[in-house]
Amino acid sequence: MEIYVYGFILSLVVTLIATPPVKRFAIYVGAVDKPNHRKVHQRLMPRLGGLAIYAGFTVAYWLLFPSFLEQQGITSQQAFGIFLGGTIIVLVGALDDRFELSPKVKLLGQIIAAAVVVYYGLRIEFINLPFEGILSFEWTWISVAFTIFWIIGITNAVNLIDGLDGLAAGVSGIATAAMMIMAFIMGNTVVALYCIILLGGIVGFLRYNFHPAKIFMGDTGALFLGFNLAALSIMGFKNVTLFAFIIPILILGVPLSDTIFAMLRRYLNKKPISVADKEHLHHCLLAAGLSHRGAVLAIYGLSFLFATAAIVFYQSYLWGAFTILGVLLLILQLMAELIGWVGQKKPLLETARRIKQMTTGKEYK
């Protein structure tokens, strides 16, 4: 257990020490975030903060992981593959923070990073549907495409929620902690150590990134965290039933929900899916009257709800698990309608209004 404590503290301390010089470096090279109509901050802010998280993680990884694997008598090419792919993602993010790469170039970099992970043996190997094995099938080359799609999707979903001080870091931290707990429950010590080292870097960076932020993580950090969460979710649940595959989806529920609702919202409004808007979850909460810090804490709470639901879901019987899932989806839909997350359409509230009218004869308000 000591190595987990050492890993967390080492990553945290290195990140705390590295963040101020990274901030100065970002300003020196011109990697700054300029205010515009979609952004909340009102002044130039240095980004590249993800380099500090990466530094803390890298130092802890190389000082602890080799000896840990040797003591356990195991090898883990997959863990190295995630590290190497994460390094590529950090490079892509850093170049984007400084030079604003085109979406095609960023996507190419993400595909290369995901392909590295697959090359080192990490992939979703099969999904066993819960129908007595009748519909079970082995993934062949489809597993490669599915794995790459999953990694790229989660990577960009985390990047999309990076809109308020400390938001992406905090949500990623909660998801990482949930994966760590799940790894301990399943006895997956490699994933547990990887998660706790990553968590140390996130917590260290939040010291400078929580509102009012002194530095942004930029695409360097958001892509790095998203990539690691995506890859770790596969490493922890790569041989799963369809039922169990819901667990990483729940853990990553906030960034995934924001991405799905954004796509749905733009489709309903007949807008291109790739066009950015100012109606993401954090925008909606601010518009509803929450303060900057209040909106971030509210999303932290939602992330904690998803993470807790994932852990309880894993340990529940079938009907209990589906009850948890149903309640969570109901809460999510109700919240989306109340704050206008999807748009002006409110089917759940409209149904409640009609039922109220039929039962009492009074209009529901």
Q: Which residues are annotated as a binding site?
A: 159, 219
Close Cβ partners of 322 (under 8 Å, ≥ 6 residues apart): none
Strand partners, 32: 46
Q: Say how far apart CA 58 and CA 64 lie, in whole Å.
A: 10
Taking the CA of residue 100 as centre, how many other CA atoms within 13 Å lie in the half-sphere pointing to its CB?
A: 4
H or E element in which residue 264 lies: helix 253-268
H or E element in which residue 45 lies: strand 45-46
Q: Say how far apart CA 269 and CA 12 lie, in whole Å.
A: 44
How many CB atoms are closer than 10 A to CB 172?
A: 29
Q: Say how far apart CA 348 and CA 344 lie, in whole Å.
A: 12
Q: Say how far apart CA 324 and CA 322 lie, in whole Å.
A: 5
Q: Which tokens belong to 266? A: 């733009």
Residue ranges for the known binding site for Mg(2+) are 159, 219
